[in-house]
């Protein structure tokens, strides 16, 4: 795969610009949808159908984003959004487990930090039990996904690119939690850029994996 092929990533990057500028939900959805489309167009035979879980996760994220950005006077939509993003994380996690394992050392470290964050900053601020459970479950699966990304068997640079994408997603979610439950708004401007950057980075990493696999295939011929 020649470097020029990566120019296709300009499509989600341009959509990201308009999404961050507040030009409407269409552009927000278009970022994730275009990333899913790119992965569909550039398959990697070595990871097979497991990439479909990434594509599904990206598409499900559109639904989660819609609920999060259209809460209005219907607070339950926040829970719906969390649930859909939980499903998206299941897709990311399943992909990582099909191509590696959970790094338990990373999991214990990240989990310890986020449980402290949950009980110190979030637990006192969440009065509704369903929301409290949803937030806790989402926190747990986020930690598992990040740890599984680190423990994946993807080639070096691809693995770290993919891990960076997951880390950006977790970072974006952390800022949302600080905004919604702790009343901290200093980093609000980073929520959308890091969220969309996570999808683009994940897409780039898997495109690179496809490129490495294709090169190895032609070298063996």
- Report pLDDT for 99: 92
Q: Among 20, 50, 22, 61, which Cα is nearest to 199's?
A: 61
Distances (CA, A) of 81 to 74, 84, 109, 150: 12, 5, 27, 26
> Tens of pLDDT along 124-145?
999 899 999 999 999 999 999 9
- Report pLDDT for 172: 97
Nearest 5 degrees, angle CA 142-CA 33-CA 98? Answer: 45
Q: Is the dihedral of CA 114, 117, 122, 124 positive or negative?
A: positive
- Report pLDDT for 219: 43
Nearest 5 degrees, angle CA 207-CA 202-CA 215? Answer: 20
pLDDT values of the chain reduced to their tens digit, one per residue, 221 residues:
556 778 899 999 999 999 999 999 999 999 999 999 999 988 777 777 889 999 999 999 999 999 999 998 898 999 999 999 999 999 999 999 999 999 999 999 999 999 999 999 999 999 899 999 999 999 999 999 999 999 999 888 899 999 999 999 999 999 999 999 999 999 999 999 999 999 999 999 999 877 655 444 334 44
């Amino acid at each position: 795969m020649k470097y020029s092929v990566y120019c296709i990533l300009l499509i989600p990057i341009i959509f990201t610009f308009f999404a961050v500028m507040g030009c409407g939900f269409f552009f927000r959805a278009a970022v994730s949808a275009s990333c899913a489309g790119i992965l569909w167009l550039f398959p990697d035979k070595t990871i097979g159908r497991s990439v479909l879980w990434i594509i599904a996760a990206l598409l499900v994220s559109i639904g989660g984003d819609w609920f999060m950005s259209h809460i209005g006077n219907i607070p339950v939509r926040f829970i719906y959004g969390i649930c859909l993003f939980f499903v998206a994380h299941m897709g990311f996690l399943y992909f990582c487990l099909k191509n590696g394992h959970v790094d338990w050392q990373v999991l214990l470290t990240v989990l310890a930090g986020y449980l402290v964050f949950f009980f110190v900053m979030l637990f006192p601020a969440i009065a509704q039990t369903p929301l409290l459970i949803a937030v806790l479950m989402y926190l747990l699966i986020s930690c598992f996904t990040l740890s599984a990304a680190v423990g994946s068997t993807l080639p070096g640079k691809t693995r770290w690119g993919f891990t960076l994408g997951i880390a950006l997603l977790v970072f974006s979610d952390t800022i949302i939690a600080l905004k919604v439950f702790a009343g901290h708004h200093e980093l609000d401007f980073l929520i959308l850029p890091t969220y969309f950057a996570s999808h683009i980075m994940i897409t780039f990493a898997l495109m690179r994996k496809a490129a490495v696999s294709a090169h190895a295939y032609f070298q063996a011929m």
